[in-house]
Amino acid sequence: MKLGELETHIWRLLTRASADRHAQWRTPALCTILQNGSPTARTVVLRACDETDRTLTIHTDKRSSKYAEICDNGSASLLFYDRKQEEQLRVQATAQFEADNVAARQWQSLGEFTQRMYKVEGAPGDAVDQWDQYSHEGDGVSNFAILTLKAVSFDWGRLDRDGHKRALLDLENGTATWAVP
Ligand SMILES: Cc1cc2nc3c(=O)[nH]c(=O)nc-3n(C[C@H](O)[C@H](O)[C@H](O)COP(=O)(O)O)c2cc1C
């Protein structure tokens, strides 16, 4: 692996993960900041990625905690891990939501099963007496949000028999360096 080829390699893996539901990097942890300043993380699905714009796309529910957290503080991080290749990527990013009309257009392309999740009455995290005690009566589209994360830096690492590797890439300045793992 050459340092100069690493960014291309990473974007290739991200692009694959956004298109292939079985890809190892398909479900990263999205980390945000709670209003009390504490970090918090949850699993999300990588829906799209754009190397030219350096953006990564996640879908979520406007009623979820993360929506308010990101509206409050757009600093976010995504953590990808491939357990087969033992390859990790930490992305520092600035996060913001697309306008409602953009989300409404994208809504049409979602499958019925996916749309159904946004039709649930009650916000994600609301307590219910039984696990299945929620209905799908809402319109859904008004809850659907598209989160765009603009990647600022990559911290990449891989455990290898011939020596562990780590590299830090500053995407804004276009600089990269190997680092002690
Ligand atoms: C495999 C998996 C994939 C998930 N994908 C998403 C996702 O793409 N978007 C999302 O909002 N929540 C997703 N979730 C649910 C979140 O992990 C989380 O429980 C939920 O969004 C509430 O998070 P919050 O309270 O921090 O906002 C997924 C959960 C699992 C287990």
Q: What is the mean pLDDT of residues 144-153?
A: 98
> Does residue 47 surpass a pLDDT of 90?
yes
Confidence of residue 27 (pLDDT cuts 50, 70, 90): very high
CB-facing half-sphere around the CA of 176: CA atoms within 13 A = 17
**Average pLDDT for 136-152:** 95
Domains in the chain: boundaries? 3-178
Taking CA atoms, 78 is separated from 107, 115, 122, in Å, by 24, 24, 27
Query: Cα-atom radius of gyration of the chain, to the nearest Å?
Result: 18
Q: Mean pLDDT score of the chain, rounded to an integer? A: 96
Q: Per residue in 49-59, pLDDT tens?
A: 999 999 999 99
Across 160-172, average pLDDT? 97
137 contacts 122 by C-beta, under 8 angstroms: no
Given the CA of residue 67, which atom of ligand 1 is nearest to it?
27
CB of 58 closer than 6 angstroms to any ligand 1 atom: yes
Q: Is the CB of 125 under 6 A from ligand 1?
A: yes
Q: Is the C-beta atom of 54 inside 6 A of ligand 1?
A: no
How large is the average pLDDT for residues 152-179? 97
- Count the alpha carbons within 13 Å of 73 in the hemisphere toward its beta carbon: 16
pLDDT band at 7 (very low <50, low <70, confident <90, very high): very high
Band of the pLDDT at 45, cuts 50, 70, 90?
A: very high
Report the nearest atom of ligand 1 relative to the CA of 32: 26
**Superfamily for the 3-178 domain:** Electron Transport, Fmn-binding Protein; Chain A (2.30.110.10)
Rounded to two decimals, the pTM is: 0.97
Give the sign of the dihedral formed by CA 149, CA 112, CA 12, CA 31: positive
